[in-house]
Amino acid sequence: MIYFSLSACAAISPEKCKTADWYNLGYSDGQNGAKRDRVNDYTQACAEVNIKVNIEKWQAGYEKGNQIYCTPENGYRVGRAGQTYNGVCLSQAFVKNYNKGKRQYDIAEEINALENQIYQLKEQYRKEPNEDIKRDIRNDIRDLEREIDRLRVPQVLYEVMF
């Protein structure tokens, strides 16, 4: 019981329950891609202070905000930013573009990790007195640079489906 209470408290404070504009809160949740069951967190948190959530207003706002969130353009933006998609859109174009953007994000993250490995190997190389080990480090660096080049092959970044 305490676990749920703590989770609900994180959703909304008792003070906010008293003054909440349920339509605007729903709109904000929809526009940010929150799950549709987010209203349950509010209901539970506000019940603790005997405040009833206006679910109908929240849902109306959520639907309007969700329409803005679920555009194909936003799908790419959300994916490219590495944000989690909560499965709240009916639009296949959103999902397709989200997946494209997410792939680009994943590639950028992988390139960054490889560049960090190269940096560490260069630091190791700089300090290494043994020439055989230095040769192995150079080979490792070359292999990592080739992998980065492979990842950087131009790819179709964005396609809007209407």
In degrees rounded to 5, what are phi and psi of residue 33? Answer: 80, 20
Structure tokens at 50: 């005997």
State pTM to two decimals: 0.74
Q: What's the one-letter identity of residue 38?
A: R
pLDDT per position in the chain (162 positions), as tens?
A: 222 233 333 589 988 999 999 999 999 999 999 999 999 999 999 999 999 999 999 999 999 999 999 999 999 999 999 999 999 999 999 999 999 999 999 999 999 999 999 999 999 999 999 999 999 999 999 999 999 999 988 654 434 433
Let me know if 71 is exposed, middle or buried by CB neighbors in 10 A (0-12, 13-18, 19+).
middle
